[in-house]
A and B are shown apart, each in its own frame.
Chain A
């Protein structure tokens, strides 16, 4: 591969090999020191003192605003990552979007892997708050994609209409969507599409670039509910993730339409395994197999995913760190959903409900999207098991209510196993 990337990132290939050998945090350290750019003041225009630049967060309700004190701002505002990403850029989305009194958004993003290190003084408390107490300073995140450990996972299809698992993956060495250049974004596309082309068997599929999609292809993807469009949420647009749309964006899916990858939307990749019906076990098996295959294929070319033992898989939004995993079902719960104990039951099972349109949508009828609450501090296997056990419990409650029996609020399950 004679592209400029091959020459530039040859350093990264060594990094890739080191990480295979298991030198997790050493790799990150090696990576940080490869450029001597992490210095105070080099890329930030400092005519005014930090106090004159500190954002007005009095009306704000997001995690960033809760933790970005003037002292933390002053400490970090002159720093930049090796690629030149700054604190002001990381927090811009949270400054521009004050938030909602009931829904606390995160309010900041990472522009590259190093952001989480260089701006750790703000990211760490934000991560701790968002992930229900997971402390990046002294805890380790377990990664486990061995689907054979799953118990059960075949739901009663009288209630469960569909099953889905999604996550994201970032390609180490390339900046993330808020900061990536056009060249980097195109390289992400090349690396991932190249790897996906190597998938075989039930994972054989095809890539549809957003820039050259035909009308017919577009309509089919809409009908399949696969197509993603230019982000309209100001949370994303203020973070710069829609720049240069639709350059280097696309959708890949297997012929069976059960494994889907989004390229260069909010993350380098979003990976989705889904099926109609209640076979969550098979959905998760395909998910793990597909992810591991893709990882193997990119490693053959000297690339790897962004990962470390402190934060797990590195993604753009701190809310998706760790597993980045949301495993869920569309489930019909006409009686349980009207029971006043429904929310408490979900809380104790560490599940969350959404409408069937996804985040920030309302339920249609009594069909809900039920998924895991947590992302960081538990492994993929643990979280999917939590969903399986939890949804089974909900179905049991629904059955009991059908028969006129009473239900119980379960004891709260422990968060960090």
Chain B
């Protein structure tokens, strides 16, 4: 049990003096955190020494945006979600559509349960991608980990990834010692991740000691990619050009299983529980942590009056082709599942597959000058 001397020292000051000023704030944490809750939790720390103030620093430092609700708090370790449940439970409920503390999350990584998904029209669907995150049990998370821990996660990850064979055979590129040539190739492949610049991540301490312990692994085919020690311990990505989401999802599930087996052999499986599913740094990624999506050409549909409503009913969200917080270019959108917690991987990818198929049909109708009013779906 790590004694947090700094937090003990802080306890000498009155709660009124320590409670943050959240009057200008608009994020999930600021909406939930009352002085009572703060008072109740401020003396606690997790076994590794993470405290409430550590969780909320990013939300205090980043008041948010009037239109976009950020989460405003992070976990420093697996135990954070339990130790600070009075904060995290309502934040999770607000972020994940009313998910209750008593709810159970279903995990389903059986790719065979996915129906269809291998026939999305490649004239419209330019690329398909599924990503998720995984945390390694027994290590603290990026906001809190020490250099020693981060390096240990990297070491285990390299071992796990180097054990992969067949279509998964690949190579690890540590950020620290990357050659210029390797760097250029990774940029050209759209694989390279860089030091975070978002104040949301920086204020949470996730960029400390950059680029120590960070790296990118990908298979020789360039269809399976793992980021090590960016915002989460691992970010796992399966992707390819075209519309065969089923193949992407199969590779995703099979690859994840193989990696997990190696970690389990070292008694460091993935963080998971039956209430929150896979445990990740940001509460927004709990559950499946899965974002399955396509880059799809929808120039007509995207300007249709009902586009937003269609997306909402299909439980999908749109982004620009640069990812989160970017704009669409040339009518091409990144369409992906909106949900993470409370439905399984298969269910979420199914929504993407079915929803994108429908939207491509709508686009084709609009191209012919026909109406799509009878195609508007019911709320899923």
- Whether B9 lies near A84 (C-beta < 8 A) is yes
Decide if A47 is an interface residue (CB 8 Å cutoff): yes
- Whether A244 lies near B61 (C-beta < 8 A) is yes
CB closest chain-A residue, reference B24: A211
Within 8 A of B (CB), among A1-57: 3-5, 8, 37, 42-45, 47-48, 52-56
Within 8 A of B (CB), among A234-249: 237-238, 242-245, 247
- Whether B17 lies near A183 (C-beta < 8 A) is yes
Chain B window 8-44, contacts with chain A (Cβ cutoff 8 Å), 1 for yes, 0 for no: 1110111001111100000000000000000000000
C-alpha gap A134/B20 in the complex (Å):
41
Given A45-B49, A84-B7, do A182 and B17 touch, yes or no (CB 8 Å)? yes
Decide if A204 is an interface residue (CB 8 Å cutoff): no
Within 8 A of B (CB), among A172-218: 179, 181-184, 186-187, 211
Nearest-neighbour CB distance to chain A for B33, whole angstroms, equals: 13
- Residue count of chain A within 8 Å CB distance of chain B: 40
Decide if A117 is an interface residue (CB 8 Å cutoff): no
Decide if A96 is an interface residue (CB 8 Å cutoff): yes
Nearest-neighbour CB distance to chain B for A171, whole angstroms, equals: 15
Q: Which residues of A contact B270 (CB under 8 A)?
A: none
Q: Which residues of A contact B20 (CB under 8 A)?
A: 182, 244, 247
Decide if B151 is an interface residue (CB 8 Å cutoff): yes
Q: Which residues of A contact B57 (CB under 8 A)?
A: 243
| A8 contact from B13, B18, B209, Cβ within 8 A | B13
Decide if A80 is an interface residue (CB 8 Å cutoff): yes
C-alpha gap A242/B62 in the complex (Å):
11
Decide if B304 is an interface residue (CB 8 Å cutoff): no
Decide if B308 is an interface residue (CB 8 Å cutoff): no
- Whether B149 lies near A47 (C-beta < 8 A) is yes
- Whether A247 lies near B21 (C-beta < 8 A) is yes
| A4 contact from B3, B17, B176, Cβ within 8 A | B17
Q: Which residues of B contact A42 (CB under 8 A)?
A: 3, 5
- Whether A56 lies near B212 (C-beta < 8 A) is yes
- Whether B61 lies near A245 (C-beta < 8 A) is yes
**Minimum-distance CB pairs A-B, first 7:** A84-B6, A84-B5, A48-B148, A183-B17, A43-B5, A183-B13, A52-B148
Interface residues of B (CB under 8 A from A): 2-10, 12-14, 17-21, 48-49, 53, 57, 60-61, 146-149, 151-152, 176, 202-203, 207-210, 212
Interface residues of A (CB under 8 A from B): 3-5, 8, 37, 42-45, 47-48, 52-56, 80, 82-85, 88, 92, 95-96, 179, 181-184, 186-187, 211, 237-238, 242-245, 247
